[in-house]
Amino acid sequence: MTLTGRLAETPHDFIRQEFLEPQFRHEVAHLLRWYVLIEKALLTEYRRLGLLSARQVGQIAAALDGLTPEELTVTAGAALSDIALAMETRVTEALPEPAPTWHVDRSRNDLQACAQLLHGRERLGEVAAMLAQLAEVAHERAGHDVSSPMPGYTQLQSAQVITPGFYLSAVVEHVLRVSSRLLGTYDRINFSPLGAGPMAGQELAWDRDRLARAVGCAGPVPHALTAVASRDWLLDIAADIASAGVGFSRFLTDLMAWSSSAYGFVELPDELAGISAAMPQKKNYPLLERLRGRTSHLTACYVDFATGQRNTSFSNTVEVSKEAGTHAGAMFTAIRTVLTGFTLVVGSLRWRTDRMRSASEEDHFGAFGLANELTLRAGIPWRTAQVIAGRYVTAVLAEAGGRGGHIAPAALATAARSAGCQLDDPASYLANSTDPDAQLRAKVSSGSTSPDSVVALLAGQRERLDELAAEWGARRAAVREAVAATDAATRTGSRSAG
């Protein structure tokens, strides 16, 4: 079948090998099912417009269902290594009789834009499902230990006592935020380019709302030019994923530190560890390094997509529609690896509660509570109370390597006098200053690290996880129903043809 009357030669080998064939292989492998769905949606419109009979619709739909990647690949050379042209060629050859009006008033521009969008939408849903799995694992592990004290750090310095459950609930919170953002992005991008034509619309009275529903979209992109010129949907997805990766990199940084010999708060099983070829005492965790390194690719992908679109004309261009999204698959592969690996890590963590407790007892995490006590009980101004607490810690650290418990009351009384204050019973202010369990219980605000607060926080997260799962389930169901309805509409034509 002749495909062009404008050019007398087929594409140069360089163009074919470097650009056309790789794009063709990618689309055949990943977008074929969406191209078939789109073609079926168009068939229902051709039938409504009276341009194809029920018999023709059934014949073309049957031919579309019979397409295989192998058949299309055989046709690639004769079809200029373009999937849309290859599909048209194979279907036309398979028809028992010609259908002259098939593809009248059509363009590859909105066809391709729609197929790419539907594929991106599908991958977005896969990421959401993996996020949900990570959240479930982190939520379950968080609930297992809401009371074992461990050091919490600010600016890499000992700060306050927290627990494994409190920390892992922060992982759940991050995943909830990421999944919520992705859901909003899904709804924002779920609009169909079909009916935009090359850029300025089409000449037949296509029902763009019906076309959008047929491919599971909420509606059509309102503006024909935007429908084919913009790939904002890819930027939106990439921005959400890059932002998610930043958060995961920070959690991984903590785990890399806490699993080191300097801390020893957490370890992973041997199957997730590595060795040093020269230092036999070492148990390394290259998995954590790999995963953190992989998050950098997520940021790079967003920059790559944005750079590929930047300073291009606002119209359908190959630079935007194809080249700028070349590494979209790499982005989705990278985030899948990060989520799979991080889920594995969270599910396998072994908290060293003995070492965490020891560190919590050695550091002076109670100084914050001490300053509060000085203000609330003794009426000492807050800033002055901070000065007294700081001087007290300095004195204790100078005595017996920081373990000068026997001098603590005297040190506090001295610190208070240096600030012009008198304490009648300094020892009573120190009851909880070295007790990490008491310091956990002292935090009573919602969302805090106290066991009761974490339990309440996890209960609220359970509700939000269930709500998000229901929302994502509704989106997937809507797509399945749309695909089934479109298939049914073309099968009706097939039965009529029979």
Predicted confidence band at 494 (pLDDT cuts at 50, 70, 90)? very low
If 0-12 CB within 10 Å is exposed, 13-18 middle and 19+ buried, where does residue 127 land? buried
**Neighbour tally for 23: CB within 10 Å:** 17
Average pLDDT over residues 296-314: 96
Residue 254 pLDDT greater than 80, yes or no: yes
Distance CA 180, CA 366 (A): 37
Work out the angle between the directed axes of helices 451-497 and 108-144 (0-180°, nearest 10). Answer: 150
Predicted confidence at residue 366, as pLDDT, reads 86
Predicted confidence at residue 432, as pLDDT, reads 81
If 0-12 CB within 10 Å is exposed, 13-18 middle and 19+ buried, where does residue 472 land? buried
Predicted confidence at residue 273, as pLDDT, reads 83
pLDDT tens across 255-266, in order?
A: 999 999 999 999
- Please say whether the beta carbons of 228 and 192 come within 8 A: no
From residue 63, give the alpha-carbon distance in Å to each of 57, 58, 236.
Answer: 10, 9, 36
Distance CA 91, CA 59 (A): 9
Predicted confidence at residue 205, as pLDDT, reads 96
pLDDT over 90, % of the chain? 84
Residue 158 pLDDT greater than 90, yes or no: no
Predicted confidence band at 404 (pLDDT cuts at 50, 70, 90)? very low
Residue 69 pLDDT greater than 50, yes or no: yes
Predicted confidence at residue 413, as pLDDT, reads 94
Predicted confidence at residue 434, as pLDDT, reads 80
Predicted confidence band at 101 (pLDDT cuts at 50, 70, 90)? very high
pLDDT tens across 11-45, in order?
A: 999 999 999 999 999 999 999 999 999 999 999 99
| Mean pLDDT over each residue of the chain, to the nearest integer | 93
Predicted confidence at residue 4, as pLDDT, reads 75
β-pair partners for 284: 274
What pTM was computed for the model?
A: 0.92
Predicted confidence at residue 407, as pLDDT, reads 66
Average pLDDT over residues 144-167: 94
Residue 495 pLDDT greater than 70, yes or no: no
pLDDT tens across 261-294, in order?
A: 999 999 999 898 887 788 877 788 899 999 999 9
Average pLDDT over residues 472-491: 96
pLDDT tens across 381-394, in order?
A: 999 999 999 999 99
- Please say whether the beta carbons of 196 and 224 come within 8 A: yes
Average pLDDT over residues 105-109: 94
Residue 497 pLDDT greater than 60, yes or no: no
Predicted confidence at residue 80, as pLDDT, reads 85
